[in-house]
């Protein structure tokens, strides 16, 4: 197995590389002088950045397609963005056992929920009874740990938390596919639903900061067999987060606090992202990452990053899609809780 010299330029294959944070990692790796290839199903615009000759077209879960697309190409580092179940990790172990470093993108949602301690470290237990996505990521990590222990498979596990950038507005109750919806509500004065009392702490990370942390781990033999989360050190309450979005949007949002169990009752799909994630105070200790990447510091505070995000949305009307189903659900819940508050004020 090839070992990569610390700090040297490396030959990287990004499997996926089309999402909010994976694209940022591709750009950061290129800026740092690394040789970057991408593998996807041909739906990416990254070809113009890495070059058509460095774009491999394949379904990453199809062993035959991957082997045909890769041919005799050698990669020092493989970053896997598209694996969500343990069976595909097992496939990757067969496909990439020759690489010097296999980086698996897991999730900070895998950490213990509800948390037993306010500060999250890489040693925090992994257990999430509320979210299948998180449990699947935990199962993937277990496969990699066994492979590293038994065969020396060169895995590094990285856990991002809620990461945002130009095309995503990070809120607890929003529309992931049409994120501008929350800003449209704010700008027309509609109630903005906030889980609980909005005082739990949360950590938001700009995609450029995540990219710098991850790229700093690439090609480091000492990172093999290790686990890292890569996040900002800034912790804000959800009330602060929503108000910063409002500042960036030029309005004072009308916040309406709604119990999380009511939100989940209205939309059971929120159980994972709320009970299994965002209603829990989550503050990360990044000291382990800084031991391996000493110059890492998150540079983009949320107030600055969200301003840039809103500028991106405001620059092009085609980016400002509205999730009408989400609006109807939020209006329904808002009406219930506004009425309940009025009744409470009128108690005998």
For the chain, which domains are there?
83-341 (3.40.50.720)
pLDDT in tens, the chain (348 residues): 344 444 578 999 999 867 899 999 999 999 999 999 999 887 655 545 666 778 899 999 999 999 999 999 999 999 999 999 999 999 999 999 999 999 999 999 999 999 999 999 999 999 999 999 999 999 999 999 999 999 999 999 999 999 999 999 999 999 999 999 999 999 999 999 999 999 999 999 999 999 999 999 999 999 999 999 999 999 999 999 999 999 999 999 999 999 999 999 999 999 999 999 999 999 999 999 999 999 999 999 999 999 999 999 999 999 999 999 999 999 999 999 999 999 999 977
Report the distance separating Cα 200 and Cα 241, nearest Å.
11
Q: What is the DSSP letter of 124?
A: S
Distance CA 7, CA 220 (A): 7
Record the tokens describing residue 22, joined without a space: 């994976």
Task: Specify whether the CB–CB gap between 323 and 316 falls below 8 A.
Answer: no
- Helix or strand or coil: residue 155? strand
Place of tokens 């503050």: 283
Dihedral sign (CA 222, 228, 231, 236): negative
């Amino acid at each position: 197995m090839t070992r990569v010299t610390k700090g040297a330029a490396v030959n990287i294959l990004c499997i996926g590389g089309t999402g909010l944070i994976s694209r940022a990692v591709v750009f950061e790796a290129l800026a740092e002088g690394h040789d970057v290839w991408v593998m996807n199903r041909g739906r990416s615009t990254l070809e113009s950045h890495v070059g058509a000759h460095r774009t491999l077209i394949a379904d990453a879960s199809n062993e035959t397609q991957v082997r045909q697309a890769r041919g005799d190409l050698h990669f020092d580092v493989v970053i896997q963005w598209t694996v969500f179940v343990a069976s595909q990790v097992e496939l990757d172990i067969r496909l990439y056992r020759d690489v010097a470093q296999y980086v698996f993108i897991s999730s900070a949602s895998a950490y213990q929920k509800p948390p037993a301690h306010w500060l999250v470290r890489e040693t925090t237990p992994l257990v999430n009874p509320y979210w299948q996505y998180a449990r699947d990521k935990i199962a993937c990590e277990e496969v990699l740990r066994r492979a590293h222990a038994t065969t020396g498979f060169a895995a590094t596990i990285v856990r991002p938390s809620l990461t945002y950038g130009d095309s995503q507005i990070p809120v607890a109750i929003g529309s992931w596919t049409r994120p501008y919806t929350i800003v449209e509500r704010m700008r027309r004065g509609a109630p903005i639903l906030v889980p609980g009392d909005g005082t739990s702490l949360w950590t938001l990370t700009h995609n450029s900061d995540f990219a710098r942390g991850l790229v700093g781990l690439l090609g480091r033999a000492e990172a093999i067999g290790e686990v890292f989360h890569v996040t900002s050190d800034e912790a804000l309450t959800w009330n602060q987060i929503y108000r910063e979005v409002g500042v960036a949007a030029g309005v004072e949002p009308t916040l309406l606090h709604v119990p999380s169990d009511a939100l989940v009752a209205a939309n059971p799909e929120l159980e994972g992202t709320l009970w299994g994630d965002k209603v829990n105070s989550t503050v990360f200790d990044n000291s382990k990452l800084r031991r391996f990447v000493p110059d890492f510091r998150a540079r983009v505070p949320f107030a600055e990053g969200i301003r840039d995000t809103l500028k991106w949305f405001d620059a092009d009307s085609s980016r400002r899609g509205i999730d009408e189903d989400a609006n109807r659900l939020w209006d329904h819940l808002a009406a219930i809780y506004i009425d309940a508050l009025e009744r409470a004020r009128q108690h005998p």
